[in-house]
Amino acid sequence: MAYKLDQIVVIDIEATCWKQRPPDGQVNEIIEIGICTLDVATGERAEKESILVKPERSTISKFCTELTTLTPEQVEQDGISFKKACQVLRKKYHTRRRTWASYGNYDRQMFERQCAARRVEYPFGATHLNIKNLFAIMMGLKHEIGLVQAIETLRLEMEGTHHRGHDDAWNTALLLARILRCGKD
C-alpha cells in the first residue's frame, strides 16, 4: 500500500483526567479527537474537526471539564464510540495511508493503549511524526517544550481554546507548517 503524501493528518486528543490519580476502577480514556489536515505542498491547514468520544471506563471529572471545557453531558449527547471514531479516521481522513502527526508521543500512546484494551483496529499507518521532538531538534533546544511555548517561540498566536482537541490540532498544524517551510527556505 503506497502512502499518500499530499496531506499530513494532525491529531490532538483530550482524555479523561483528574486532579490527582484516577478513582478506583477508572482509566484515562480519549474523549475528544481533534483533527486538522495540513496540505504539504501549500502549508495550508485545510480542515478542522472535533470528534467527541464517549468514555466507557471512566467519567469526566470537574477538573477535566475545567481543563478542556468538555462536560459529561456534551460528550454523552454528541459523542460516539471509540470504535466508530477510529472508523471515521480511517474512512474520512485515510489515516492508514497518510502520515499522521501529534505534538509529542502521548496521543500515539493513548491510541495504542486504547485500541489494545478495546480490541479496536489501530486507525493509523506506521508513519507518525512527533512534532514536539522535531521542533526541539530543529530549534537546537536542550529539551522538548510545550505547545504554547513553541508557538510563542516562533512568534505565532494560539487560536481557540487550549486543551480542546480541534483547536490544539489546528495550532499544532500551524507549527508543523512553519517547520516544513523552513526546510524549503
Strand 30-39 relative to strand 45-52: parallel, antiparallel, unpaired?
antiparallel
Domains of the chain, first to last: 4-184 (3.30.420.10)
Distance CA 152, CA 149 (A): 5
Strand partners, 10: 36, 101
Half-sphere exposure of 68 (CA within 13 A, CB side): 29
Task: Using 70 as the pLDDT threshold, list the residues of the chain that sit under it.
Answer: 1, 183-185
Closest CA to 31 of 18, 47, 17, 11: 17
**Helix or strand holding residue 4 (H, E):** strand 4-15
Are 121 and 127 contacting, i.e. CB atoms less than 8 angstroms apart? Answer: no
Strand partners, 86: none
Q: What are phi and psi of 160, to 5 degrees?
A: 80, -155
At a CB cut-off of 8 Å and minimum separation 6, what does 98 contact? 3, 4, 5, 6, 7, 8, 9, 125
Scanning the chain, the segments in alpha helix (DSSP H) are: 62-68, 72-78, 82-93, 106-118, 131-139, 147-153, 165-184
pLDDT value for 55 = 98
pLDDT value for 88 = 98
pLDDT value for 183 = 54
Q: Indicate the pTM of the whole model.
A: 0.96
pLDDT value for 182 = 74
pLDDT value for 22 = 92
Residue 88 is placed in which grid cell?
Answer: 471515521
